[in-house]
Structure 1
């Protein structure tokens, strides 16, 4: 994994993530960041980063829509959902959309680092508090072939 892009609406968190990448993953080039989902999807379609870290609640286009759009266009892209929205429905949409990971923001940067290291090895990573739910969702299987939006 050589490149990354961050889509996060909170500017202070974008700045923190930028510093986090520079210090923790100096070998991954941060291609850009935005707080707007519409701009984020445009940039990712143009730049084709290896990794996208995306929040769910964003202006214009939400993170789950971004997940589905990017995975359809670039099936090998790695997408980590980094959010505070961990409802059953959001987890289910992310899992069925083939998210490579789902990290609860309250888990902090240490857990995000674990997730990035996992996807670098072609593994998936889900926050421990939602892992059992992910297993149940996978056992159920997808009930529809398209996202519900």
Structure 2
């Protein structure tokens, strides 16, 4: 592959961003054209710079990596998304893939693994952490075998779940939907319960993995 692969790197920790860039030092096939500290900045940069690949952390302020990935898939379908994260849960991998990611790499990956993943993603292939993807495959197999009943949310609950997945607080959800903070909190707690999640983050991840998250 002779063309330069243009990248945008998004992570709310500057050390991680600069470390990722340093990994690619001296490799002329890659060019980091932009860096962002949250998902919204990544979205804006990608729309302006049109890179080949965007590297997203999952946990970021303003707009998390999963929310950014879904919006980028809608607005820039040819852009390839790779997650670079500490989250080694199959829930997060499934959510990332449903959000449009074709790469999923853990932050303890070696330089060789990072470069190999970028090359594979640029070539149109998937590049998924092997241990996490194996866990996900086992989970999907067990889920299909169990015939578990699907989770059903009302249109309002799906709307609330989408806002939770975007990182909004109960107060922000209330302001967005024109309801009180208390009512927003009740909706969020009901959604968490229906999804069998332990907290808001797990509810968001499971909702995305199950295809229940809608944009508001």
Q: What's the TM-score, normalizing by structure 1?
A: 0.85
Match in the other structure for 1:120:
122
Instruction: State the structure with more CA Rg.
Output: 2
Q: CA RMSD in A?
A: 2.5
Match in the other structure for 2:21:
18
Structure 2 residue ranges without an equivalent (≥5): 145-208
Q: Is the 8 A contact 1:95 1:137 kept in 2?
A: no
Q: Is the 8 A contact 2:13 2:37 kept in 1?
A: yes
Sort the Cα spacing of 1:35 and 1:125 in 2 relative to 1 into closer, same or farther, 3 A: same
Q: Is the 8 A contact 1:78 1:119 kept in 2?
A: yes
- Structure 1 Cα separation of the partners of residues 130 and 214 of structure 2: 25
Higher RCO, 1 or 2 (CA under 8 Å, sep at least 6)?
Answer: 1
Task: Select between 29-38 and 60-69 the one with higher mean Cα deviation.
Answer: 29-38
- Structure 1 Cα separation of the partners of residues 72 and 140 of structure 2: 21
Q: Is the 8 A contact 2:52 2:122 kept in 1?
A: no
- Aligned residue pair count: 148
Q: Is the 8 A contact 1:95 1:138 kept in 2?
A: no
Sort the Cα spacing of 1:99 and 1:46 in 2 relative to 1 into closer, same or farther, 3 A: same
* Greater share of strand: 1
Match in the other structure for 1:34:
36
Which secondary structure state, in structure 1, belongs to the residue aligned with residue 82 of structure 2? strand
Moved over 6 A (4+): 137-142
Q: Is the 8 A contact 1:84 1:105 kept in 2?
A: yes
Structure 1 residue ranges without an equivalent (≥5): none
Sort the Cα spacing of 1:144 and 1:59 in 2 relative to 1 into closer, same or farther, 3 A: closer
- Structure 2 Cα separation of the partners of residues 148 and 103 of structure 1: 26
Sort the Cα spacing of 1:36 and 1:133 in 2 relative to 1 into closer, same or farther, 3 A: same
Which secondary structure state, in structure 1, belongs to the residue aligned with residue 41 of structure 2? helix
